Amino acid sequence: MKSLERSHPTVTLLYFLAVTLPVMLCMEPLLLCISLAGALALLFSRTGGRNIRTLLYFLALLLLIALVNPLFQHDGVTVLFFLNGNPVTWEAIAFGLCAGAMTLAVLCWFLSMSQMMTTDKYLCVFGALSPKLSLMLSMALRFVPLFTKRMHAVRLAQRGLGLYRDGTLPDKLRGELRVFSVTVTWALENGIHTADSMEARGYGTGRRTAYAEYDFHAWDGALLALILLMLALTLCGLLTDAVAVTFYPALVRAERGVLAALTYAAYTLLSFLPTLLTVQEKIKWHFLQSKI
């Protein structure tokens, strides 16, 4: 058993797509709560309280969305009060809250994804689909920090020449464009060496393969199968309206049956899967360490 982070990148990426798909498809309050709880549990189990500030920012976004919706949406039968002659309804607030919760859940999931999916993992996934695009991405990823460093060197050099002044705003702007321009020349002119180095090492002589450090083990296959199964069960529930909810004109939740229970169960397992794996790994380490 391995944590989601250490599984094959394809599995990691597909997990995050699978877990966010149901909440983006359907704004069902309970499903949203499960998703949110799962996303937060994963964040905290991995990084502790380090993301509090980001989360507070996300929370503010949720409240904003929840408040904005009733200002534009006046449907719904339960009128709470009037604002500037427009009705503010409970249904619109509920809808706004759900929309906000969806935003929050998706943001949290993608926050975890950004932490887990490093650039070389994306390259591994892309490489399987198109070796050439993956190579281009890899080259561009190298150039970004390189050019940033070069721009810094150019800024210093131009200042040392007395050609870059940052007194007034137009001066600074002109200076920055100058620095950018020098960097552009530098980057374009030296590209030829990179191209030569590629040719000299056989680029373009045939079909490329894409090498990646990651192996697809049996565990990855098993985990992927589990993820897809849980997703399929959840989608079954969603598409057959087993957990349907309507907001307008009045908030109505359909009768919840066995299928609904199955849907909730499947989605709960899906949402808490990475947390379980992380915790499991931590416990194992704890025991291993106490034996050492």
Partner 1 sequence: MALLTVENLSFTYAGEETPALQDVSFSIRRGEMVVLCGATGCGKSTLMRLFKREISPMGEVSGEILLGGTPTASLSVRESAARIGYVMQHPEEQIVTDKVWHELAFGLESLGYPRDAIRRRVAEMASYFDIEPWFDKDTASLSGGQKQLLNLAAVLVTDPELLLLDEPTAQLDPIAAADFIDTLRRLNRELGLTMLLIEHRPEEVMPICDRLMIMEEGRLLAIDTPRRVMETLGTRPEILCGMPASVRLFHTLGENGTPPLGIREGREFLKASYANDVRALPHEPYTHGERVALSMKNVCFRYEKTGADVLRDTTLEVFEGEILCLLGANGSGKTTALSVAAGLFKPYSGTVRVFGKKQKDYRDGSLYRSCVALLPQNVQTVFLKSTVREELADAGADPAALPYDLTHLMARHPYDLSGGERQLVALAKVLATSPRLLLADEPTKGLDANAKRHLIEIFRTLKQNGVTVVIVTHDTELAAELCDRAALFFRGGIASISTPRAFFSENRFYTTAVSRMTRGIYDNAVTQSDAVSLCRQNGRRGGAS
Partner 2 sequence: MIVIQNARLRSFLRILTLLLIPSVAVLGYFLLRGTGYVVTSVTVASLSVVLFLCGFDRRKTGSRRLVLVSVMIALSVLGRFFPLLKPVTAVAVITGVYLGMEAGFLTGAFSALISNFYYGQGPWTPFQMFAWGILAFLAGALARPLQKSRTLLCLYGALSGILYSLIMDIWSAVFASGGFSLPIYLAKVVTALPHTVLYAVSNVIFLFLMAKPFGEKLTRIKRKYGV
217 binds partner 1 (CB under 8 A): no
119 binds partner 2 (CB under 8 A): yes
CA–CA gap between residue 175 and residue 181 (Å, rounded): 10
Q: Which stretch binds partner 1 (CB under 8 A): 35-43, 56-64, 200-208, 255-263?
A: 200-208
Identity of residue 165 = R
69 binds partner 2 (CB under 8 A): yes
Structure tokens at 61: 């976004």
Q: In the complex with partner 2, which residue's Cβ is closer, 246 or 280?
A: 246
Which one of partner 2, partner 1, none is in contact with 111 (Cβ closer than 5 to 8 A by kind)?
partner 2
CA–CA gap between residue 112 and residue 118 (Å, rounded): 11
First-to-final CA distance of the chain: 21
Q: Contact with partner 2 (CB under 8 A): which of 111, 154, 227, 273?
A: 111
Shortest approach of partner 2 to residue 7 CB, angstroms?
A: 16
205 binds partner 1 (CB under 8 A): yes
CA–CA gap between residue 123 and residue 213 (Å, rounded): 11
Q: In the complex with partner 1, which residue's Cβ is closer, 186 or 272?
A: 186
Q: Contact with partner 1 (CB under 8 A): which of 2, 159, 174, 256?
A: 159
Q: In the complex with partner 1, which residue's Cβ is closer, 85 or 145?
A: 145
CA–CA gap between residue 50 and residue 197 (Å, rounded): 43
Contact (CB, 8 A) for 138 and 208: no
Q: Among 123, 175, 118, 126, which residue's Cα sits nearest to residue 151? A: 175
How far, CA to CA in Å, does 285 sit from each of 6, 7, 273, 278, 280? 15, 17, 18, 11, 9
Contact (CB, 8 A) for 267 and 35: yes
Bridging pattern class, strands 245-246 and 252-253: antiparallel
66 binds partner 1 (CB under 8 A): no
Residue 252: count of CB within 10 angstroms of its CB: 11
Structure tokens at 277: 């794996």
- Residues facing residue 81 across a β-bridge: 88
User: What is the size of the binding site for partner 1 (CB under 8 A)?
Assistant: 53
130 binds partner 1 (CB under 8 A): no
Q: Contact with partner 2 (CB under 8 A): which of 44, 90, 110, 272?
A: 110
Site for partner 2 in 249-288 (CB under 8 A): none
CA–CA gap between residue 15 and residue 58 (Å, rounded): 22
Shortest approach of partner 2 to residue 112 CB, angstroms?
A: 11
135 binds partner 1 (CB under 8 A): yes
Shortest approach of partner 1 to residue 131 CB, angstroms?
A: 7
Contact (CB, 8 A) for 259 and 240: yes
170 binds partner 1 (CB under 8 A): no
Binding mask 132-171 for partner 2 (x = CB under 8 A): xx-xxx-xxx-xx-xxx--x-----------------x--
Q: What is the contact surface with partner 1 in residues (CB under 8 A)?
A: 119-120, 123, 131, 135, 138-139, 141-142, 145-146, 149-150, 153-154, 156-163, 165, 167, 178, 181-182, 185-186, 189-191, 193-194, 196-213
